[in-house]
A and B are shown apart, each in its own frame.
Chain A
Amino acid sequence: MSSYSITEPSSLQKWLAGTLVVAYAVITLLPLVWILTTGFKSPVDAIAYPPKILFEPSLEGYVNLFTTRTRVAPETLEALPPPATWYEEVVRNRDMVIAGPSRYGERFLNSVIIGFGSTFLSVFLGTLAAYAFSRFKVPLKDDLLFFILSTRMMPPIAVAIPIFLMFRTLGLSDTHLGMILLYTAVNISLAVWLLKGFMDEIPREYEEAALIDGYTRFQAFYKVVLPQAATGIASTAIFCLIFSWNEYAFAVLLTSGTAQTAPPFIPTIIGVGGQDWPAVAAGATLFLVPVMVFTILLRKHLLRGITFGAVRK
């Protein structure tokens, strides 16, 4: 066996490592920067070649994202009273008037309901199942766990047609409930497996002590195990939310109106015959916010969660 020695890396090694990290960060962050800046560009700047790094910021993309507009004849425009708000002014400059709000708000809300709803359900069911698998003698435990995992062995979209037919028969097409159930079904295998790992790491002595201290099995679970599993639950929730928040294929297939989420809606913002890239970029930017906020809020748990079990105290 070779022995390991810990030595301070040389300055060349440090410089090399630093450069690699920066290069990697630039490569991964560039698309995000592109989206973010495009949202604040005018339509002309957005498609300028070479791309403009310095540009005059405009909120036109965000205005277009939230409104529907109609083009009017110049003489009608002149006959109108002066614009009452700054966003009306932005629209008038393009010889248009605001016809009403866009559907982006509703679609965004749908994403929130379906994303967080299915995340809650996956984590809730996953926690209970993982606890049972971790602590009790479940008949055919290994087979059941394999079966649960096997639902992830193909791309979910491979079963799109059976699910489409099933949803049509059950009246779940284009409903919030249908999408929540579908995303939960996809996420639950991940939730059970991740959480089982965390539950296995929690010594049984804690619950046993609680049982002897006069608590029931459920109270011991609720008062002792659950706080211990908080880290695992938080990181599992992040993974579940990221999947259901970003899911595109099923959303295109199974939703069209009432329950349509933001991912299939955002591309349609580009408009008929138009090239409204700033509005698309604005929609994508805002769409990133909830997942980022959620992840930052649970970040401490996530970091601890990823290294959990790898390091013995």
Chain B
Amino acid sequence: MSEVRLSNLSKAFGETIAVDDVTMTIPNGALVTLLGPTGAGKTTILRLISGLEQPEGGDVSIGGRSVVDDTPAQRNVAMVFQQYSLYPHMSVQDNLAFPLRSPLLKTPAEEIERKVSEIAEVLRISHKMNNKATELSGGEMQRVSIGRALVREPTIFLMDEPLSSLDAKLRSDLRIELKRIQENLGATLLYVTHDQIEAMTMSTHVGVLDHGRLVQFGTPREIYENPVNLYVAGRLGQPRINVLPADMFAGAPAGADKMGLRPEHIQQGEGKGSMVKRIEHLGDQIRLHLTLDGHDVVTLSEPHSDLEPGDTVAIQPRNPLFFDASGVRIT
């Protein structure tokens, strides 16, 4: 395992700029999550690190050594693709053993046997070892392809939304399992996801991408509590951050144009009256959809609230985030 460093990395596909001058260090043993909408350049960054794409500018170094001229095999990285990654003509067993049999590793047969059955145990696919890869359910396929990465000891694991095709139960089990494996191995992992729970709970660091640019890089808490702009603020948080005109409540700093309110920034009981539009009972909490002077606001409430649609709730902000007209954070 080693530190992976991207310096001024750039890549364009024709006119489209996929990765724009990204500089980022993935510390040894870290789990870094890349966040961003489709087309933000998350997958391209994984492909540039793995060597499946060549950068137009900048450098990728692994363990202090530039690898841009190395083949993917020479870089010794493991990658989990979002889909289509299992070799359909091979059994599960052979799929898992495939990287160990490569000319790169040339693992002895007993060791392949041991490692493969160990990983199969962890990912709960031992009973399907002799199945063809095409005879698996979507969740099983994805577990096998995660397993194919985990049998190796690569410099870095690259995972492109590995849990996105799994059902909720399996996803939360595997999320914890992956984190445990990563900590046990001391593995360095670069992880692409849309899922904010994955980003918040697994990562040591989060990188937020917007149109190929790295907008902010920091711990999940930093990204959540201290977003540099409105875009980053909108990437984390469920329900999403509410954006209101800054002058809706008194106390906006000079130059503020928008006010960002996460649910915990909204205090109920005093302040401006807002109308309850809809109530969602989530069991452990209630999601309140409010209208405040024609603006929609979503917040959380106690599970045993007796509010009903049409009721009026007084709300006021508590330590909100302020942004200027271009979306940059002020306080």
- Complex interface residues of chain A between 194 and 228 (CB less than 8 A to chain B): 203, 205-206, 208-216, 219, 224, 227-228
Q: Report B-chain residues with C-beta under 8 Å of the C-beta of A216.
A: 71, 73, 103
**Cβ–Cβ contact A210 & B78, under 8 A:** no
**Cβ–Cβ contact A210 & B89, under 8 A:** no
**Cβ–Cβ contact B81 & A214, under 8 A:** no
Considering residues A205, A216, A227, which has the most beta carbons from chain B within 10 angstroms of its beta carbon? A205
**A203→B77 CA distance, assembly (Å):** 21
The one of A209, A211, A219, A228 in contact with B85, judged by C-beta atoms closer than 8 angstroms, is A209
Considering residues A206, A211, A212, A219, which has the most beta carbons from chain B within 10 angstroms of its beta carbon? A212
Q: Report A-chain residues with C-beta under 8 Å of the C-beta of B98.
A: 210, 213
Q: Report A-chain residues with C-beta under 8 Å of the C-beta of B148.
A: 209, 213
Q: What is the interface size of chain B, counting residues whose CB is below 8 A from a CB of the partner?
A: 25
B99 in the interface (beta carbon within 8 A): yes
- Complex interface residues of chain B between 68 and 91 (CB less than 8 A to chain A): 71-73, 76-79, 81, 83-85, 87-89
**Cβ–Cβ contact B104 & A211, under 8 A:** no
Which size bracket describes the interface of A in this complex? 10 to 19
**Cβ–Cβ contact A205 & B71, under 8 A:** no
**Cβ–Cβ contact B89 & A227, under 8 A:** yes
**Cβ–Cβ contact A224 & B71, under 8 A:** no
Shortest Cβ distance from A39 into chain B, in angstroms?
Answer: 43
**Cβ–Cβ contact A214 & B104, under 8 A:** yes
**Cβ–Cβ contact A224 & B79, under 8 A:** no
**Cβ–Cβ contact A206 & B87, under 8 A:** yes
Shortest Cβ distance from A313 into chain B, in angstroms?
Answer: 9
B50 in the interface (beta carbon within 8 A): yes
B105 in the interface (beta carbon within 8 A): yes
- Complex interface residues of chain A between 13 and 58 (CB less than 8 A to chain B): none
**Cβ–Cβ contact B89 & A212, under 8 A:** no
**Cβ–Cβ contact B103 & A209, under 8 A:** no
**Cβ–Cβ contact A214 & B84, under 8 A:** no
**A73→B87 CA distance, assembly (Å):** 74
Shortest Cβ distance from A304 into chain B, in angstroms?
Answer: 13
Shortest Cβ distance from B283 into chain A, in angstroms?
Answer: 37
**Cβ–Cβ contact B84 & A206, under 8 A:** yes
Q: Report A-chain residues with C-beta under 8 Å of the C-beta of B88.
A: 206, 228
The one of B83, B84, B102 in contact with A215, judged by C-beta atoms closer than 8 angstroms, is B102
**A209→B99 CA distance, assembly (Å):** 9
**Cβ–Cβ contact A205 & B83, under 8 A:** yes
**A113→B142 CA distance, assembly (Å):** 47
Task: Answer whether A219 and B103 are a contact pair too, CB < 8 Å, given A211-B52, A211-B73.
Answer: yes
Nearest B residue (CB) for A216: B73
Q: Interface readout for A272-290 with B: 1 if CB under 8 Å, 0 if not?
A: 0000000000000000000
**Cβ–Cβ contact B81 & A215, under 8 A:** no
Shortest Cβ distance from B122 into chain A, in angstroms?
Answer: 19
Task: Answer whether A208 and B52 are a contact pair too, CB < 8 Å, given A203-B84, A214-B105, A216-B73.
Answer: yes
Q: Interface readout for B109-146 with A: 1 if CB under 8 Å, 0 if not?
A: 00000000000000000000000000000000000010
Nearest A residue (CB) for B90: A227
Q: Report A-chain residues with C-beta under 8 Å of the C-beta of B87.
A: 206, 209-210, 224
A residues neighboring B (CB under 8 Å):
203, 205-206, 208-216, 219, 224, 227-228
Pairs across A and B, CB under 8 Å, 6 listed: A205-B85, A208-B81, A209-B148, A213-B148, A214-B99, A216-B71
* Extra A-B contacts (14), CB below 8 Å, given A210-B98, A213-B148: A203-B84, A205-B84, A206-B84, A206-B85, A209-B87, A211-B71, A213-B102, A214-B102, A214-B103, A214-B104, A215-B102, A215-B103, A215-B104, A228-B88
